[in-house]
């Protein structure tokens, strides 16, 4: 388990941290299997984290507070996105310096994104796997999302026709930049745009 491993760490003269959860990794049976990555980088002071997972994990995981409260500017999960995740609860919460999340986020197993992206004020780049997001999600403080990020989020919304509508929340500046086509794309899939 990497649960809490670098939590509250103050690393002097370290700009980038590259962590691999390798193929021979073991985890403590005293901790929930689903919490292997909870709070791993909580409040860490480095600028960039790269998280890799070579270990085959079939059961969905919890990324509770994994990158929350940090000084991070870049988070690279491009070699981690094969890990199924059901809880994105406060995953990037209050990491206001994050400009880029590298890697396509797959929300296929997600049942919770509560405050997952809260106060990501600097966020510009994020990619969502097409058609995987099925639960209400907010980017209310992310006013700097690029055009490619806005489109990726729109593409990432699952088609909920005939199912319970969910809500996607954008910052007012981002919402104002959505094209008529993007708005139609959102609402036609039974999503409420807020």
Q: Dihedral (C-alpha) 87, 116, 30, 19: value to the nearest 10 degrees?
A: 110
Stated pTM of the model = 0.91
Residue 24's pLDDT is what?
55
Residue 30's pLDDT is what?
46
Q: Does the pLDDT at position 81 exceed 80? A: no
- Looking at the chain, the whole-number percentage of residues with pLDDT higher than 70 is 94
Residue 96 near residue 69, CB atoms below 8 Å: no
Residue 150 near residue 182, CB atoms below 8 Å: yes
CA distance 104 to 181: 23
Give the model's confidence band at 185: pLDDT under 50 very low, under 70 low, under 90 confident, else very high. Answer: very high
| pLDDT tens digit sequence for 6-44 | 999 988 889 999 998 766 555 545 445 678 889 999 999
């Amino acid at each position: 388990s990497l649960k809490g491993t670098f939590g509250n760490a103050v690393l002097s003269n370290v700009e980038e941290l590259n962590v691999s959860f390798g193929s021979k990794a073991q985890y403590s049976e005293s901790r929930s299997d689903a919490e292997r990555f909870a709070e791993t980088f909580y409040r860490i002071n480095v600028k960039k984290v790269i998280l890799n997972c070579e270990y085959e994990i079939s059961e969905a995981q919890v990324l509770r507070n994994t990158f929350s409260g940090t000084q991070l500017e870049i988070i690279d999960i491009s070699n981690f996105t094969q890990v199924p995740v059901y809880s994105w609860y406060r995953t990037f919460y209050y990491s206001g310096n994050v400009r880029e999340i590298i890697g396509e986020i797959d929300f296929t197993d997600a049942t919770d994104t509560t405050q997952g992206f809260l106060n990501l004020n600097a966020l510009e780049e994020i990619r969502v796997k097409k058609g995987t997001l099925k639960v209400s999600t907010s980017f209310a403080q992310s006013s700097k999302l690029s055009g490619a990020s806005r489109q990726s989020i729109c593409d990432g919304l699952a088609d909920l026709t005939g199912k319970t509508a969910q809500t996607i929340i954008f910052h007012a500046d981002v919402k104002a930049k959505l094209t008529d086509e993007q708005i139609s794309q959102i609402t036609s899939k039974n999503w409420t745009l807020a």
